[in-house]
Amino acid sequence: MQAWQIWMVIGIICVIIEIFDPAFFFLSLGAAAILTGLLSFAVKSTVWQIIIFAVLSFLAFLSMRKLGKKVLAVTDKDTNVYALKGMTGTVTNAIPEHGKGHVKIGGEEWSALEKNNLAIELGTKIKVIDIDGNKLIVEKVNQES
């Protein structure tokens, strides 16, 4: 086997490993190996090819690390129904004491309970405090502020 073929095989194996271990480490090694394989046509010395591979791996790892941080960044934003926490709406079906009513938030109607089991009248402004299953836990918005 020629040197360029060995580097290409190493590169492809590293890229395949990356599929099963998405940490961007093996992808940087694979990219460096493929580039070293292409450069091996001009650089015949094995020692220089290994040095080139080491330098390219390091540079690729640094750039992949930045990319990985962006792609794999964990967001603290709530999604789905949990994104409703803190939003305000209006009571569309009065919430009785110790009972369930309905509220409208952002064009959608939801079942709701008052957080202290108090009654809330129709048309009252509310704020979502928590989520319990598919019901919103709400409280009356203070109209004085």
Do both 45 and 14 map to the same domain?
A: yes
Average pLDDT, whole number, for the chain?
A: 89
Do both 39 and 98 map to the same domain?
A: no
Which residue among 52, 71, 90 closes a domain? 71
In a domain, 99, yes or no: yes
Contact (CB, 8 A) for 99 and 112: no
Cα–Cα distance measured from residue 24 to residue 7, given in angstroms and rounded to the nearest whole number: 19
Cα–Cα distance measured from residue 105 to residue 110, given in angstroms and rounded to the nearest whole number: 8
Evaluate if residue 1 carries a pLDDT over 80: yes
Q: Which domain holds residue 125?
A: 80-140
Evaluate if residue 63 carries a pLDDT over 70: yes
- Residue from 116, 127, 117 nearest 91 by CA: 127
Output 142 or 20, whichever has higher pLDDT.
20
Share of the chain above pLDDT 90, in %: 68
The domain total for the chain is 2
| CATH number for position 124 | 2.40.50.140
Which residue among 71, 95, 112 closes a domain? 71
In a domain, 24, yes or no: yes
Which residue among 71, 101, 129 closes a domain? 71
Element (H, E) at 133: none
Evaluate if residue 97 carries a pLDDT over 70: yes
Long-range residue pairs from 103-106, CB within 8 A, at least 24 positions apart, any chain: 103/136, 103/138, 105/136
In a domain, 145, yes or no: no
Give the pLDDT confidence score for residue 145 in this predicted structure. 45
Q: What global pTM score does this model have?
A: 0.50
Do both 7 and 62 map to the same domain?
A: yes
Q: Is residue 115 exposed (0-12), middle (13-18) or buried (19+ Cβ within 10 Å)?
A: middle
Q: Is residue 33 exposed (0-12), middle (13-18) or buried (19+ Cβ within 10 Å)?
A: buried
Positive or negative torsion for Cα 91, 96, 97, 101: negative
